[in-house]
């Protein structure tokens, strides 16, 4: 006897409905035509297979979706799946993720927090509309739960993958269910993308990039070049003086502390601050 686990069929009989078929296809499993399914069954009978699964899989899409939440020992035995899993493990973060979020970070750098959240909410709702097949981004209610919008495990993974590509992050497969609305997810993305506490210098660095680009257009014999040079040197001098003042202030504070300290406090300072015991 032959036992077959069938994937979805197209057309009549064992066919799935249109919405489910579209969802399965996004997860890497296409509905088979009856002719293709019967042909595969005939091959299995000819080879006297007794237990098998027959499905039309796009491995590049199916493997990441199927293993997003947990690893599968079943796929380890399949050469097509193993190749994809090994490539993902060996490659680490791909070039897409190394550079994927740079443009987004630059765009957010000069914006206030509220506008950063708005930009990221636009990103989330745009991708939600694409994943769920909505006619426009206006169809996505930003305060409505993802489950109510129509998300399941497959579409959650697809949204995660799209956001990974757009932000350069490595988000968990459960991100949609950990942050249940588009607004909540946008706030989470802002924390990860902007990195609060590190982003204060980002607007300055962005301005310096623009100044550098503008300076590249100034010819060596331009009459304004000496004025620009003087301004830059003055700015750099002030920057260095401020940094030196900060260092001197720190040194003076330590000096004052030592001047007024007891012997026990000095030994304690040496032990804790300088690592000498």
Q: Vertex 162, ends 161 and 168: CA angle to 5°?
A: 85
- At residue 97, the pLDDT reads 42
pLDDT of 63-101, one tens digit each? 876 765 556 777 878 888 888 777 766 544 444 444 456
Contact criterion met (CB below 8 Å) for 1 and 50: yes
Residue ranges covered by each domain of the chain: 3-91, 100-200, 220-273
Contact criterion met (CB below 8 Å) for 206 and 102: no
- At residue 252, the pLDDT reads 59
- At residue 181, the pLDDT reads 93
- Side-chain half-sphere of 107: how many Cα atoms within 13 Å? 15
- At residue 200, the pLDDT reads 54
Residue ranges in the chain whose pLDDT is less than 50? 91-99, 196-199, 274-277
- At residue 122, the pLDDT reads 94
How far apart, in whole angstroms, are the C-alpha atoms of residue 183 and residue 121?
Answer: 6
How far apart, in whole angstroms, are the C-alpha atoms of residue 226 and residue 242?
Answer: 24
How far apart, in whole angstroms, are the C-alpha atoms of residue 186 and residue 122?
Answer: 9
137 DSSP 8-state letter? G
- At residue 145, the pLDDT reads 93
Q: Which residues contact 108 (CB under 8 A, 6 or more apart)?
A: 116, 119, 120, 190, 193, 194
Give the CATH class of 100-200.
mainly alpha
Average pLDDT, the chain: 78
Is this prediction's pTM over 0.85? Answer: no
- At residue 197, the pLDDT reads 40
């Amino acid at each position: 006897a032959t036992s077959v686990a069938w994937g979805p069929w197209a057309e009549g009989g064992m066919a799935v409905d249109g919405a489910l078929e579209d969802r399965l296809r996004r997860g890497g499993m296409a509905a088979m035509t009856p002719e293709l399914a019967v042909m595969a069954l005939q091959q299995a009978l000819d080879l006297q297979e007794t237990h098998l699964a027959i499905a039309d899989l796009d491995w590049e899409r199916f493997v990441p979706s199927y293993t997003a939440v947990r690893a599968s020992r079943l796929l380890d035995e399949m050469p097509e799946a193993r190749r994809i899993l090994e490539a993902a493990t060996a490659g680490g973060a791909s070039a897409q993720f190394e550079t994927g979020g740079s443009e987004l970070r630059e765009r957010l750098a000069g914006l206030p927090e509220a506008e950063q959240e708005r930009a990221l909410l636009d990103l989330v709702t745009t991708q939600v509309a694409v994943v769920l097949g909505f006619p426009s981004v206006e169809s996505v209610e930003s305060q409505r739960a993802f489950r109510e919008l129509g998300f399941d495990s497959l579409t959650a993974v697809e949204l995660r993958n799209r956001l990974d590509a757009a932000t350069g992050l490595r988000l968990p497969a459960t991100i949609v269910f950990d942050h249940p609305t588009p607004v909540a997810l946008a706030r989470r993305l802002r924390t990860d993308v902007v990195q609060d506490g590190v982003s204060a210098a980002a607007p300055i660095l962005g301005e310096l990039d623009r100044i550098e680009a503008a300076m590249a257009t100034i010819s060596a014999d331009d009459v304004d070049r000496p004025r620009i040079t003087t301004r830059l040197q003055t700015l750099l001098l002030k920057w260095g003086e401020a940094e030196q003042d900060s260092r001197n202030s720190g040194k003076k504070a330590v000096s004052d502390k030592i001047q007024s300290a007891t012997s026990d406090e000095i030994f304690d300072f040496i032990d804790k601050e300088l690592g000498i015991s």
